[in-house]
Amino acid sequence: MRRVFTGLAGLTCLVVLLALGTENGFAGSGEGKTVALGKRPILNDNLPKAKKEAVGDALQTSVERAVVAMLSRSDIAENLDFLWEQVFADPQKYVETYRVVAELEKEQQYMVAVEATVNDRALEAFFTRARILNTAKDTPSVLFFISEQSFDEVLPRYWWGNNPLPYASSAEAALTAVLAKQGYTIVGNDSPRPDPATLGITFDFIHDSTAAIKLGIALKADMVVMGKARAEEPSNRMGDDRSYGAAVVLEVYATATGERIASIEHAGVVKSHVVEEGAGNALARAGELAGQELLSRLQDHWAAQQRTVRAIETRVEGADYLSSFIMLRKVLNDMSGIEDVQTKEIGSDQAVVDIHFKGNAGKLADLLMLKSFDSFDIEMSEVTENSMVIRFVTKEDVAPVEPSEIKKAYISE
């Protein structure tokens, strides 16, 4: 059964917030504290109850502001019932801290001003997991480098580097399964595996993270996970069963910056009466536990990256590029996540603009490639974290751009 807001104050607040969006600078925990007002009548001289309910109203307003600043109008409209059930029914779980900064009792009414810090990261991670955030790519692609060694093996097995060994990893299979269930793209796990040498990449040692990141960039992976998985010799015996332990250690890197964003370590223990099964199951269990933490870390990092506004330097070029560029700016004007477009240089055969966008250039390129244009096609190239090149290919028999359309296309200069 669908639910709607029944409280007049809450409904009025949300409608006003939807109209204002982020133009009034609503801020969450990532950008500072917010102050919100709450008001309730004092019934039967019960001042404590009125105060508690007024504070609750103010905290709900703070969370509503964070949600509206985070999601587009269409995201909210399509998921209002879900937001009511999962967020607004208990908004205080997303409030990190709060304090009453002012209060007033007048004419049997109690009003309070509350300064609150909303946990934006928790909200973003929740909306990402629920696939509410309106992004073309809401999960990163991941490339794994997991060396694996059982207690009866002299050397670890791995698929990359100078002397790779036959490779089938129980830990990696468990790790990738956790991410794949959440829609993540796993790069480089096809058969045969990619050969770094053919791409001019050399690993100086097995866990050479610099070379791993280079290969990740070449394979267009957003994240690189390098790790070690090792099964220990079986120990305690219980009847026919023995205990098998294993550990997985991971280092997680963002390929765009080379930054290490997480270090993860988990152990797994299982019982088995078959040696080969025991070691493999222990490795899989440790991999599954590490994968669950890895999923949480990736979701938090990716959500934060999707919300970061960057000035993406974009060079536009092509035959008769100016008319096409004008029409592209009109499209940019209506795209979610674009804050502004500022012209830096303009010439006879190309222009350079800064597109202020919530996300990186790769995400913007993905969004633009989904668009269709009547008068031209676009080709994307040289896409990095903060820059890209757009080339216009004019279609044949296209009417010239009308002056009225040109006027609509400008966002800012």
Q: Domain limits of the chain?
A: 8-129, 141-307, 309-409
Report strand pairing: 387-394 vs 241-254: unpaired
| Residue for token pair 């290969």 | 215
Angle at which helices 8-20 and 47-70 pack, to 10 degrees? Answer: 30
Collapsed DSSP state (helix, strand, coil) of residue 334:
coil
376: which 2 tokens? 């031209």
Tell me the three state secondary structure of residue 160. coil
Q: What's the one-letter identity of residue 341?
A: V
Task: Tell me, yes or no, if the two domains 8-129 and 141-307 fold the same way.
Answer: no
The CA distance from 70 to 132, in Å, is 10
Token pair recorded at residue 37: 């007002």
Q: Is 72 exposed, middle or buried (0-12, 13-18, 19+ CB in 10 A)?
A: middle
Whole-prediction pTM: 0.50
Burial class (CB in 10 A: 0-12, 13-18, 19+), 399: exposed
Question: Which homologous superfamily is 8-129 in?
Answer: FlgT, N-terminal domain (3.30.1660.40)
Amino acid at 26: F
The answer to whether 111 and 193 have CB atoms below 8 angstroms apart is: no
pLDDT at 192: 85
pLDDT at 302: 81
Read off the tokens for 132.
Answer: 């509410």
Rg (CA), the chain: 27
Instruction: Return the SS3 of 268.
Output: strand
Among residues 21, 120, 6, the alpha carbon closest in space to that of 74 is found at 21
The verdict on whether omega for the bond into residue 41 sits within 30 degrees of 0, i.e. cis, is: no
The per-residue pLDDT for 79 is 82
CATH fold, domain 141-307, is Rossmann fold (3.40.50)
CA distance 76 to 22: 14
Q: Please count the CA atoms within 13 angstroms of the CA of 74 that sit on its side-chain side.
A: 7
Report d(CA 158, CA 161) in Å as an integer. Answer: 8
- Would you write out the chain's pLDDT as a tens digit for each of its 413 residues? 233 333 333 333 433 333 333 333 333 334 447 889 999 999 998 989 989 998 999 899 988 888 887 776 667 877 888 888 888 888 888 888 889 999 999 889 999 999 988 888 788 778 776 767 544 456 788 999 999 999 888 889 999 987 777 788 999 999 999 998 888 889 988 878 999 999 899 999 999 999 999 999 888 888 999 999 999 888 766 666 788 899 999 999 998 788 899 999 999 988 887 777 888 899 999 999 999 999 999 988 887 776 667 788 988 887 666 666 776 777 777 676 787 888 888 776 777 888 888 777 877 887 777 776 666 777 888 888 788 888 877 766 655 555 454 444 444 44
Q: In the beta sheet, which residues pair with residue 338?
A: 357
Other CB atoms within a 10 A radius of the CB of residue 319 amount to: 11
Q: For residue 356, give the amino acid letter.
A: H
Q: Where are the alpha helices (DSSP H) in 308-387?
A: 321-333, 361-369
